[in-house]
Amino acid sequence: MSLWVGFSDGLDRVLAWADGHLVGRSGRPEGGRRAALCLLAPTLLLLGVFGVAPIVSTVLLSLFDLRYGNGAFAGLGNYQEALQSSAFWNSVRVTAWYLVGVVPTTIGLGFVVAWGLMHVTRGRTLFRTLYFLPYITSAYAAALVWRALLNPQGGLANGLLEWIGLPTQQWLLEPRGLLHVVTGGAVAADMGPSLALCCVMAFDIWHGLGFTVVILLAGLSAIPQELEDAARIDGAGVLQVIRHVTLPLLTPTLYFLLLIGTISGFQAFNSFYALTQSGGNTLGTTENLVIYLFANFYDNGRWGYGAAIATLLLVAIIALALVQARFARRWVHYS
Amino acid sequence: MLTRSFIGLSLLGGLIAGCNPTPSSSGDFQPLSTDQVVFWDRQTTETAQLLQRITDEFNDSQEGLPVRIETTGNYGEIYRKVMASIQARQLPAMAVSYESMTAQYAASGAVVPLDGFVSAASGGLSPEELADFFPAVLESNYYSDYDGQLLSFPFSKSVLMLYANHRVLRLAGIEAPPRTWEEFLQQCRTIREKTGKPAYAISVDCSTISGMIFSMGGELVVDGVFQYDQPAARQAFGLLETLMEEELAYQIQARTFDDEVAFARDDVAFTIRTSAGSANMAVAMGGKNDDWSMNPLPQQNLDRPATILFGPNITIFKTGAEQERVAWAFTRHFTSVPVMTEWALATGYLPIRKSVADDPRMQAYWDAWPSNKVPYDCLVFAKTEPNLRGWQEIRSLVEKAESAVLAGLKSAEEATKELQVEAQATLARAQQ
Amino acid sequence: MKRALAYMVLTLGALLVIYPFIWMVGTAFKTLPESMGGSLSPLPQTWQWGNLSATLQAAPFGRYFFNSMVVGITVGLCVVLTSLLAGYAFARFSFRGRGVLFGLVLATMMVPFEITFIPNFVVITRLGWYNSYAALIVPWCANAFGIFLVRQAFLSLPEAYYDAAVLDGCGPLRFLRHIGASMVKPTLVTVFLFAFLGSYNALLWPLVVTSDPSMGVVQVGLASFVLDSGVRLNLLMCASAFVIVPSILLFLVTQRYFETGALGSGLKE
């Protein structure tokens, strides 16, 4: 105990000394730069070496035409090839469908669950834990379970369909579009995401729900109860309260989830790989950008080309993040 | 200043890490350990224990550095690890690999050619010993892209077999499994008629297609020209098309063992799988009994049978003379007749040397259950897939074509024609 | 009425969400043929309690758990420390290039791991850290997501706190230590949880930087049930089920912090 007190005092004295150098006569931190350097140094070192350096070396790699370890400088050749490749644009399309399907749905469902959790008194801990379970399971093990449930022969999903009287489906093997399957062929098979892709999306929504709920719970609990009560007293119904009081105050959290969701959506890999391998079985309808990158990088040994795709991916994420930031000014309300 | 130093630091780190996009050739790889010969392998649980025992025996019998086995994931993960290690210029002495992986390692200059070891006066393989290996087992380890050098050595091989569920066959009134593709199709129809269920569970896999093409009398590639638009390939894809149209078969999920499960539950009569799966199948079927059997692939022409051989090999890396010497000695020990026999008996992988037939333990094993000998008998007419550069990419093309036909999105005609064009183009691009 | 509706929706949702887990636990105690058999019932006909010991014996899980916990907790604590310092710096100090630097920090989240692990592996090897705890821990000690969260938390603290501290003659570092850190404690707990989970559930990195069995982590243990010739599905499910337990326990301990205005009331630019 006294050891801790001694350490605590010593630390305090060190900090006070450091502060003395950082604070000017006005009392405000002086020369933000020096102080910031001290605070940021360890982080920047780590991120520099393990976070930024790989990006740099990847970009360097993309300028070479590496096949199977050997290759010459190729300038922008890899980028040219990517932008002209139909397989590349297919992977872009798959990624786009995935983002559109997963991000809003996870946030929407997460809101419903979080709102519900705020308004129940008993069993809160139990519910929270249950909804969080998928997020803390290893994606690999969870995918095995889903594959068993979605097995076209003998899986629960088809069992349910049979019980209801609907035709059974191929689920993770179905390259035809969801719309095509649901409308019995009225919509062309290659319009929209394939059924297999939709299964992967469902998995990721299930997996990511817990994370979204936790963040939304924090955001919701920061909204003062008085505001909601006041609106209720004024005669507003539940939905009106949500629309006019809760959601506007929640916009910063929603924006945060949108941004994080987009960034991780672009990088989705584990679920795709565990559920459908490299997408060959589904004729490329579950081959998103990272799977495409992976197949080229590892299966085909084309390191330069794979690195170029990774760089294009990075550029796309940054572009989309900037666009979202620009739009954010319009709909995000700060308190 | 802060930002600039951060950027500078990152660039420095990036250059250190990535400064070798085109690694140079020989000599500058470090071994993982200087007092052990490390072998990256894939086996787990019981087979790992057996391998460990074999290794311990080897270590006791020799004076050099001891061999140490490290289990490091599945083949894909081992491959990624080796590729990363090549970049870091620190490698194990040897690792299990498929031919396409060895070709990539060789392109990075990391692989030791084994011809010298084999033909060495002491510690090598005499011509008689070499001839004792089945030809197909060695042939895929010679790489035409690298002047025909021997760049890897066989480790655990298996052949493609037709598994037949006799309970279902008996239900359908069929006496014996089919020996030709004609009979196969007929039997599928009969089974469908009598049981109302599909007869065959299809696992999408390039090697299965390759095996079918071989057994239909065709080749995969001749003098650098792919043969996917030739009759044998057309026939293979055509058979799949027919099976799906007449609802005689269905497709299982990628890289699962659902077909074995269906087989064990009498939901299908046939599955075409590697002989290495027999141990698993035995568990599912309640033992090696007369409810099921392993048969050679159905053939087009029974006078000229053919099937496919596959399985991983050992690749030895340039990690210094002593490490390489011990690695080769271990490889030689592992593929010697007594060790091979023990390995084959315990794991179900094939004994790759002809003279194992003389070992009484082997004979007892063959007598115990008729199907035990069948894979061995197939070795004599087994062929391998090409180990050309670009083959890995072409495998995915074949699987895409197969999936398209099975899903009914392309006809066999269309699919093979397109596949031929794509495969040839991919080969051309990879050979540049 | 509203309460009842909420309960109904939540319960229904929860059942849907945890059905796969019921299946997982049920399959964990089936025999191998039964587990692969695809029967519609998630629960076994007879519970094979022996699967538990079979699973534990298949790989050195004791050692794996120890390693995973050591690594996970260390990573969690380090991430909390670096995120605290960096988040505070980005929130309260102004310096030229701050925006660009923060953007760079965020960019580290934007590249897929499948590619970035190779340069990281090269650095680890050059440092001689192969097969060591350092390799498992150090690359993960700074985390852009954590910095993001902490920065946001500090931004949403009212100015009044800082002003009061200055009046008291408290410099920025002592402010951080005595007041700031405890003001954002809920955020720090959240950061710890996510950092731990990220480390605990990682498979590829531990697989790549270690090969010695004494350095393996639990995820590697899971992989040992996937054989060449088949998957021991029942044992794999059993292993997966008890691998989750530490994460659940950690969540139970930390989850009460999520509802105390953990992330502040706003995202300020």
- What is the distance between the alpha carbons of residues A310 and C164, in angstroms, rounded to a whole number? 48
User: What integer pLDDT is reported at residue B206 of this predicted model?
Assistant: 92
Protein fold of B158-309+385-431? D-Maltodextrin-Binding Protein; domain 2 (3.40.190)
Q: Is the dihedral of CA A146, A149, A153, A159 positive or negative?
A: negative
Same-domain pairing of C55 and C44? no
Whether B373 and B366 have beta carbons less than 8 Å apart is answered as yes
Same-domain pairing of C34 and C130? no
A178 sits in which H/E element: helix A178-182
- B304 phi and psi angles, rounded to 5 deg: -130, 75
Look up residue A232 and give its two tokens: 């209720």
Whether C239 and C245 have beta carbons less than 8 Å apart is answered as no
Give the model confidence (pLDDT) of B302-323 as tens digits.
Answer: 999 999 998 999 999 999 899 9
Q: How many domains does chain C have?
A: 2
Same-domain pairing of C22 and C121? no
In terms of CA atoms, which chain B residue is nearest residue A144?
A: B256
Query: First-to-last CA distance in chain B?
Result: 46
- B324 phi and psi angles, rounded to 5 deg: -65, -40
Same-domain pairing of C125 and C209? yes
User: What integer pLDDT is reported at residue C262 of this predicted model?
Assistant: 43
B50 sits in which H/E element: helix B45-61
For domain A72-331, the CATH architecture is Orthogonal Bundle (1.10)
Residue C135: HSE in the Cβ half-sphere, 13 Å Cα cutoff:
26
Give the model confidence (pLDDT) of A32-91 as tens digits.
Answer: 677 777 788 889 899 988 988 888 888 888 888 766 556 677 778 889 889 999 899 999
User: What integer pLDDT is reported at residue C264 of this predicted model?
Assistant: 44
- What is the distance between the alpha carbons of residues C201 and C243, in angstroms, rounded to a whole number? 9
Domain boundaries, given as residue ranges, for chain A: 72-331
Beta-sheet pairing, C226-227 with B225-226: unpaired
Answer yes or no: is pLDDT of C76 > 90. Answer: yes
Answer yes or no: is pLDDT of C268 > 50. Answer: no
Whether C139 and C124 have beta carbons less than 8 Å apart is answered as yes
pLDDT band (50, 70, 90) for residue A334: low
Q: pLDDT > 90: what percent of chain A?
A: 22
SS (H, E, C) C110-163: CCCHHHHHHHHHHHHHHCCCCCCHHHHHHHHCCCHHHHHHHHHHHHCCCHHHHH
- What is the distance between the alpha carbons of residues A22 and C159, in angstroms, rounded to a whole number? 19
Answer yes or no: is pLDDT of C89 > 50. Answer: yes
Look up residue C250 and give its two tokens: 């950690």
pLDDT band (50, 70, 90) for residue A1: low
Domain boundaries, given as residue ranges, for chain B: 23-157+311-335, 158-309+385-431
User: What integer pLDDT is reported at residue B383 of this predicted model?
Assistant: 92
Q: Closest CB to A300: pick one of B17, B107, B392.
A: B392
CA dist list (Å): C217 to A136, A273, A303, B243, C204: 16, 21, 29, 46, 11
Residue contact B14–C119, C-beta within 8 A: yes
pLDDT band (50, 70, 90) for residue C154: confident
Give the model confidence (pLDDT) of C30-61 as tens digits.
Answer: 887 777 766 667 888 888 888 888 888 888 88
- What is the distance between the alpha carbons of residues C7 and A127, in angstroms, rounded to a whole number? 10
Would an 8 Å CB–CB cutoff place C144 in contact with chain B?
Answer: no
Whether A102 and A208 have beta carbons less than 8 Å apart is answered as yes
Q: Which class for C220: exposed (0-12), middle (13-18), buried (19 or more C-beta within 10 A)?
A: buried
Three-state secondary-structure class, residue B160:
strand
Identity (one letter) of the amino acid at B274?
Answer: T
Q: Is residue C23 part of a domain?
A: yes
User: What integer pLDDT is reported at residue A189 of this predicted model?
Assistant: 79
Answer yes or no: is pLDDT of C165 > 80. Answer: no
- B399 phi and psi angles, rounded to 5 deg: -65, -35
- Put simply, the chain A residues between 31 and 50 with a CB less than 8 A from any chain B CB are 33, 36-37, 40, 44-45, 48-49
Same-domain pairing of C108 and C97? yes
Identity (one letter) of the amino acid at B370?
Answer: P
Three-state secondary-structure class, residue B54:
helix
**What residue ranges of chain B have pLDDT lower than 50?**
19-27
Residue written as token pair 């066999």: B412
Q: Closest CB to B2: pick one of A37, A57, A176.
A: A37
Average of per-residue pLDDT across A145-162: 86
CA dist list (Å): C37 to B175, B268, B415, C234, C238: 27, 13, 34, 11, 17
Q: Which alpha helices (DSSP H) does chain C contain, by range?
A: 2-28, 32-36, 50-58, 61-92, 98-107, 113-126, 133-137, 144-155, 159-167, 172-175, 181-183, 185-200, 204-209, 218-223, 233-254
User: What integer pLDDT is reported at residue B180 of this predicted model?
Assistant: 95
Q: Which alpha helices (DSSP H) does B126-277 contain, by range?
A: 127-132, 135-139, 166-171, 181-195, 206-215, 231-245, 258-264
Query: First-to-last CA distance in chain A?
Result: 43
Protein fold of B23-157+311-335? D-Maltodextrin-Binding Protein; domain 2 (3.40.190)
Same-domain pairing of C41 and C75? no
Three-state secondary-structure class, residue A244:
helix
- What is the distance between the alpha carbons of residues B319 and C223, in angstroms, rounded to a whole number? 29
Which ipTM score applies to this complex? 0.85
Same-domain pairing of C124 and C197? yes
Boundaries of domain holding C17: 1-48
- What is the distance between the alpha carbons of residues A286 and A98, in angstroms, rounded to a whole number? 9
Residues 6+ apart with CB under 8 A from B189: B246, B248
Residues 6+ apart with CB under 8 A from A282: A172, A173, A174, A175, A194, A196, A197, A276, B403
Answer yes or no: is pLDDT of C211 > 70. Answer: yes
Q: Is residue C26 part of a domain?
A: yes
Would an 8 Å CB–CB cutoff place B70 in contact with chain C?
Answer: yes
User: What integer pLDDT is reported at residue B3 of this predicted model?
Assistant: 66
Answer yes or no: is pLDDT of A194 > 50. Answer: yes
Beta-sheet pairing, C230-231 with C226-227: antiparallel
Residues 6+ apart with CB under 8 A from B67: B36, B37, B38, B39, B55, B58, B59, B93, B326, B327, B330
Look up residue B377 and give its two tokens: 């008998």
Residue contact C123–B13, C-beta within 8 A: yes
Would an 8 Å CB–CB cutoff place C130 in contact with chain B?
Answer: yes
Measure CA A107 to chain center.
Answer: 11
Q: Touching A: which chains, 3+ CB pairs < 8 A? A: B, C
Point out the least confidently predicted range of A235-244, B185-194, C80-89. A235-244
Residue written as token pair 């955001």: A219
Q: Which of B187, B172, B184, B196 is nearest to B236 (CA)?
A: B184
Chains B–C, number of C-beta pairs less than 8 Å apart: 111
User: What integer pLDDT is reported at residue C184 of this predicted model?
Assistant: 79
Residue written as token pair 């002491």: B122
In terms of CA atoms, which chain C residue is nearest residue A308?
A: C115
Beta-sheet pairing, B307-310 with B158-165: antiparallel
Whether C264 and C148 have beta carbons less than 8 Å apart is answered as no
B272 sits in which H/E element: strand B270-274
Answer yes or no: is pLDDT of C11 > 50. Answer: yes
User: What integer pLDDT is reported at residue B25 of this predicted model?
Assistant: 41
Cα torsion B232, B235, B239, B242 to 10°: value is: 170
- C268 phi and psi angles, rounded to 5 deg: -100, 150
Average of per-residue pLDDT across C148-164: 78
CB atoms within 10 A of CB C19: 15
Average of per-residue pLDDT across A105-109: 95
Would an 8 Å CB–CB cutoff place B6 in contact with chain C?
Answer: yes
Residues 6+ apart with CB under 8 A from B121: none
User: What integer pLDDT is reported at residue A91 of this predicted model?
Assistant: 93
Give the model confidence (pLDDT) of B115-142 as tens digits.
Answer: 999 998 888 888 888 899 998 899 889 9
Q: Is residue C160 part of a domain?
A: yes
Interface probe with B: pick from C34, C36, C147, most Cβ of B within 10 Å: C36
- Put simply, the chain C residues between 36 and 55 with a CB less than 8 A from any chain B CB are 36-38
Average of per-residue pLDDT across A322-334: 81
User: What integer pLDDT is reported at residue A20 of this predicted model?
Assistant: 67
- Across the strands, what pairs with C226? C231
